Amino acid sequence: VWAFRNMRMKLYYANRLLEGREAVADQLPEKDEMFMTRGKMLQEIMVSLGGRIAEELILDDITTGASQDIKQATQMAKDMVTKYGMSSEIGLLSYDNDDQEVFIGRDFAHAKGYGENMATKIDLEVKRIVDDCYAQASDIIRQNMDVLHRSAQLLLEKEKISGEEFAALFEAPQTTSEA
């Protein structure tokens, strides 16, 4: 997903973990950026969901391996809605309450500056953003299954590949299935 969304980050390396069943990739920004655009945040969410999507497509099952990625994607979508005013549905108000804890128990006595109706709208908008990103990322992966298989095969052979080796996988000819 990362490679097809023209991210402004360079892949540093990809590494195989857990006997070839999971992979991790380290990315470095091409340039120092102070602010993130809405489009960049949506791309980040899509990238975060890529591992789970690949599990579903390849393993026909899911694991706990993507839990941190899901948490990260959800938090980014929530920040878009509650901190940055990046939702036309919710609008240009800040609903971020991180600094308004009333008690030692984090969520136990958490003060909210909005009612349950708005909380429901926020939850629905966060879910919509994540679901839309999931659908787009899934389409990208489905359309490029050959690259997914080639990268998995290379990681099984080498355990760790460079950004250049990864980029070369996209230059290889696509395989076509004949009936």
For tokens 């128990």, what's the residue?
105
* pLDDT level of residue 168 (50, 70, 90 thresholds): confident
Answer with the residue of higher pLDDT: 88 or 2: 88
Answer with the residue of higher pLDDT: 162 or 83: 83
Q: How far is CA 18 from CA 10, 15, 159, 160, in A?
A: 24, 10, 11, 13
* pLDDT level of residue 152 (50, 70, 90 thresholds): confident
The reported pTM is 0.77
- DSSP character for 7? -
For residues 105, 107, 110, 114, the Cα torsion angle rounded to the nearest 10 degrees is 180
Question: Which residue pairs, CB below 8 angstroms and at least 24 apart, start in 135-138?
Answer: 136/46, 137/1, 137/46, 137/47, 137/49, 137/50, 137/53, 138/53
Residue 122 — φ and ψ, nearest 5°? Answer: -60, -50
Lowest mean pLDDT among 14-28, 64-78, 134-148: 14-28
The answer to whether 47 and 70 have CB atoms below 8 angstroms apart is no
Residue type at 29? P
The answer to whether 50 and 11 have CB atoms below 8 angstroms apart is no
